[in-house]
Amino acid sequence: DTEVTQTPKHLVMGMTNKKSLKCEQHMGHRAMYWYKQKAKKPPELMFVYSYEKLSINESVPSRFSPECPNSSLLNLHLHALQPEDSALYLCASSQDPRYIYEQYFGPGTRLTVT
């Protein structure tokens, strides 16, 4: 199984809502990543989990809160988002942090903030 799955595929939320994005992999990978991608722009790295430990990207607003319940699951909790946060949110994994450049990506969640 070389697949990274993400749910939901699409999400529409208001600025006062709380929602969560989910990511799962069963490849035994020990590093997982969250990216944000705006239309016609490259993916931007948001967070990295290495052996379930978070490496925080300090430029990411606190309205984005990652969680890694176990080595196979990664969540991104969303609260009080702004319309400019509308984007494709991608999850990825790699065998471990040494293989940071060889990542497997999920299909993404298309988020619209109204």
Partner 1 sequence: LAKTTQPISMDSYEGQEVNITCSHNNIATNDYITWYQQFPSQGPRFIIQGYKTKVTNEVASLFIPADRKSSTLSLPRVSLSDTAVYYCLVGEADTGFQKLVFGTGTRLLVSP
Which residue, 66 or 106, has its beta carbon nearer to partner 1? Answer: 106
* Contact set with partner 1 (CB under 8 A): 4, 33, 42-45, 48, 55, 57, 88, 90-92, 97-108, 110
Q: How far is the CB of 43 from partner 1 (least distance, A)?
A: 5
Which residues are CB-contacts of 98 (< 8 A; sequence separation ≥ 6)?
none
Q: How far is the CB of 35 from partner 1 (least distance, A)?
A: 8
Helix, strand, or coil (residue 97):
helix
Q: How far is the CB of 15 from partner 1 (least distance, A)?
A: 24
